[in-house]
């Protein structure tokens, strides 16, 4: 029984070749051995509904675990419906993920999320950065990026960053190898350490 699951009506489907449902007391487990999203293997992921018969406590638990996740724009926007929002989405490359989300359905319910993302040779939407490597830690509204190496059309740098996801603001401690415009004619800055503040609550401002 090939099952297709969408977190919203715009994202590509998560494909599950065989799905069993296991109801035990107030917990409904989605049991599967294999699952895929855009070619990425999600087979180690986990989904269940909890406290089904208590409308004030009922919710969903998602564990998104993969060695080659495609955290694309459609998936990023779908997770926003579950109150999970990152300041970027993946355009290409590889992301190793282990994310946990626990979301109460009730309007006044609680939302919990935590996890890690390991990026390798990935391109992301934020300033069209190409990331050689980066390690991302998420704990509720705090997101830390560690040991990141990035490059785009005008910048090559290493940085660590801290984000407040609720305020949609971030601070970057950045070691710039080179920052240049117009092939270095307009600006050519090398080997500088700078702190950058980012506000992405509306448009991106640096």
- pTM confidence score: 0.81
Quote the pLDDT of residue 187: 87
The 10s digit of each residue's pLDDT in 114-157 is 999 999 888 888 777 889 899 999 998 899 999 999 988 888 99
Quote the pLDDT of residue 158: 94
Quote the pLDDT of residue 184: 78
Q: How many CA atoms lie within 13 A of 96 on its CB side?
A: 7
Quote the pLDDT of residue 205: 45
Q: Please give the Cα distance from 42 to 115 (Å, whole number).
A: 15
For the chain, the helix, strand and coil percentages under 3-state DSSP, each to the nearest 5: 5, 60, 35
Quote the pLDDT of residue 33: 96
Quote the pLDDT of residue 203: 57
Q: Domain map of the chain by residue range?
A: 3-199
Do residues 117 and 95 touch, judged by C-beta distance below 8 A?
Answer: yes
The list of the chain residues with pLDDT below 70 reads 202-206
Quote the pLDDT of residue 199: 86
Quote the pLDDT of residue 35: 95
Q: Please give the Cα distance from 38 to 60 (Å, whole number).
A: 23
79 class by beta-carbon count within 10 Å (0-12 exposed, 13-18 middle, 19+ buried): buried
Quote the pLDDT of residue 206: 44
């Amino acid at each position: 029984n090939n099952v297709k699951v969408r977190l919203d009506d715009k994202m590509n489907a998560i494909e599950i070749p065989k799905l069993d449902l296991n109801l035990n007391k107030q917990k409904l487990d989605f049991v599967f051995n294999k699952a895929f999203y855009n070619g990425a293997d999600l087979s180690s992921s986990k989904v269940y509904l909890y406290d089904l018969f208590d409308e004030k406590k009922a919710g969903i638990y998602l564990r998104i675990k993969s060695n080659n996740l495609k955290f694309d724009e459609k998936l990023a926007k779908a997770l926003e419906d579950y109150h999970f929002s990152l300041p970027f989405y993946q355009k290409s490359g590889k992301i190793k993920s282990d994310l946990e989300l626990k979301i109460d359905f009730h309007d006044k319910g609680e939302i919990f999320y935590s996890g890690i993302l390991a990026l390798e040779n990935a391109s992301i939407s934020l300033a069209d950065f190409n990331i050689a490597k980066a390690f991302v830690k998420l704990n509720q509204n705090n997101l830390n990026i560690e040991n990141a190496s990035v490059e785009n059309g005008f910048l090559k740098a290493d940085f660590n960053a801290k984000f407040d996801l609720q305020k949609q603001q971030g601070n970057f401690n950045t070691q710039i190898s080179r920052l240049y415009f117009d092939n270095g004619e307009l600006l050519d800055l090398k080997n500088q350490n700078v702190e950058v503040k980012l506000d992405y609550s509306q448009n991106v401002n640096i």
